[in-house]
Amino acid sequence: MTPYETFVQETLDTLRLTLPLGGVPPLPRPTLAPEAPKVLLFSPHPDDEVIVGGLALRLLRQSGLHVLNVAVTQGSDKARQSGRWQEASDCCNHLGWGLIQTRPGGLEGINVKSRIGQPERWAASVARIAEILTEQQPKIIFFPHELDLNSSHVGTHYLVTDALAQLGPAFSCHTVETEFWAAMSQPNLMVEVGPQDLADLLTALSFHVGEVSRNPYHQRLPAWMIDNVRRGAELVGAQGGAAPSFPFATLYRLRRWRHGQFEAVLEKGRFLLQNENPAALFA
């Protein structure tokens, strides 16, 4: 066999491993100051919080910020909604994140079609997100970018931006847009995810037992993060530039919401290395 045949076979062997799902004790939690700033992760579905959560985990561990997952929906399958809520609770508890429920069963109709065709229903959902933002006063929020393909992801983007607009010019925070189903064409931040953080994220993702049992995407997440480094080297860095030496990363678009609109905060793309405190991005 050539070295490349061996490489492919070893990759296949890794994907065929049978890994436990959930059932792992919570990780040690850092001591956080009661007045520490808050980070809100607006997750279209239970499991999205941890898939894109590399930077959020680092903000907890390295910067001492309170991280709370806002479960925008609990999926469209009503028979699974309570189970998915429990899985999200177990996942967040494992990582040391808080969890906010939008309403029992989660919001419904979070998509562009409802935004256009059901204005009263949409307005009620926007009001609930605005209420959460007002109550929590986050320093940083995470939500999907506007072209993230999945209808609930795109819907969550507009849900959050409509809520921000509703709060008026007095409200401000940093915004971190995420990608999963469709890549951003212009990310401006690549965040290294260290091996231990990645292992902890995968463990937390495995608590979403009902989802990863039908599709073991938790075991494919490292490959996605490897490909993020390939893309980020040229999209966040410079075309034709050398790729960074770290193997795993997540891509984001960092901006700030201020005076009722988005503002740029980075003059050019930025790589955040594992040994850097991410709080410096949000000064």
Within 13 A of 77's CA, how many CA atoms are on the CB side?
Answer: 9
Residues of the chain with pLDDT under 70: none
Q: What is the pTM for the complete model shown?
A: 0.96
Contact yes or no for 189/264 (Cβ under 8 A): no
Contact yes or no for 157/143 (Cβ under 8 A): yes
> Domain boundaries in the chain?
36-73+83-282
Q: Say what the pLDDT of residue 161 is.
A: 98
Assigned token pair, 16: 């065929």
Assigned token pair, 145: 């970018």
Q: Say what the pLDDT of residue 189 is.
A: 98
Distance CA 118, CA 107 (A): 14
Q: Say what the pLDDT of residue 255 is.
A: 98
Q: Say what the pLDDT of residue 210 is.
A: 96
In CATH terms, the superfamily for domain 36-73+83-282 is LmbE-like (3.40.50.10320)
- List residues bridging with 110 in a β-sheet: none
